[in-house]
Amino acid sequence: MALGVAPVVAKFYHDAITKGGLDHPLNKARPGSPRGRVRIGNRGAAMENFTPFSAVAGGALIGLAAVVLMWANGRIAGISGIAGGLLTPARGEVAWRLAFILGLIGGAGLYRLAGGPLQFLQFSTSTFSVAVAGLLVGFGAGLGSGCTSGHGICGIARVSKRSIVSVALFTLTAAITLYLIRHVLRGA
Amino acid sequence: MMARLAAALVSGLLFGLGLAVSQMVNPAKVQAFLDIAGPWDPSLVLVMVAGAAVAMVGYQLIFARGKPLFADAFALPLKTEIDARLMIGAVIFGIGWGIAGLCPGPGFASLVFGHVESLFFLGAMGLGLYFARQVA
């Protein structure tokens, strides 16, 4: 049974990585230019860029990553927690964190080497604003004990009340922030 | 020790691959979800639902085993109280997430795409995490 499913799953992921899989016809707006900026405003049909198959395929891999880390090492796969632990290093708490982060970077690297449809990223804001955002993201995740992975994936999976509150609050705040930037301040 | 490192590496690899496959490593993709007044892209919701669903089922099976393979016990958060730090932290995090469309995982995974923004984001994020630890 499990063996029968394996080639289907393998083909699904192979397609998702090399061609954008089943989303491909929907995903015509490829990030083509190396320094592409996000186009703001309506560009026709609603949800034109919705990529449900690669979203589920990628999301399942992230969930699997969380399962592996808990199963093997008994740890929550929260990136801000794993990275934060390196800043005040404790005995026996450094190497595995570095290995995880190396894997995190390497996993994206493998995708790019395999010729995945996403080869360049698009930033909508200046490098300075990205740095300010980084400061806020780091401080907020540190203070609030987690980010999109720790609270979002692992916390929700544990049905943690703290995580549910955190995810609701940071998603709402992020949406309001972007609305103000794009549709009020810039008037786009 | 080597087993713990190998497991952490494998978990990281799966995580990074997942972020790339789902395109959540791309700030524009994340902001297309956050920008509800633009051409809305709900992909992020499916990533979160699929990730949390797989983790939820996996966690149930794992916790039933009593202990992890290469450690003595599960290291789980003990706090259950919804305090001001949690909420203020989430709001500050959300403002940063909205501005750039990047959070810690994609911040690291974005490094291989060769944009200088990743370095600025990660440097500042490290500083922010450090400050938060001083406040703690």
Q: Is B91–A17 a contact, with Cβ atoms under 8 angstroms apart? A: no
Q: Is ipTM over 0.95? A: yes
Which has the higher per-residue pLDDT, A19 or B87? B87
Would you say A118 and B25 are in contact if contact means Cβ atoms under 8 Å apart?
yes
Amino acid at site A164: I
CA distances from B33 to A70, B42, B58, B101, B114 (A): 29, 5, 27, 10, 24
pTM given for the model: 0.91
Residue A159: its chain B contacts at CB < 8 A?
56
| Alpha-carbon gap: A187 to the closest alpha carbon of chain B (Å) | 12
Among B129, B130, B135, pick the best mutation site for testing chain A contact (most A Cβ within 10 A): B129
Nearest to B117 among A41, A127, A158 (CB): A127
CA distance B136 to B132: 6
Nearest to A106 among B13, B23, B24 (CB): B13
Q: How do the pLDDT tens digits run along chain A, 188 residues long? A: 567 888 888 888 888 777 666 675 444 444 444 444 444 444 445 677 899 999 999 999 999 999 999 999 999 999 999 999 999 999 999 999 999 999 999 999 999 999 999 999 999 999 999 999 999 999 999 999 999 999 999 999 999 999 999 999 999 999 999 999 999 987 54
Length of chain A: 188
Task: Please tell me whether residue A162 adopts helix, strand or coil conformation.
Answer: helix
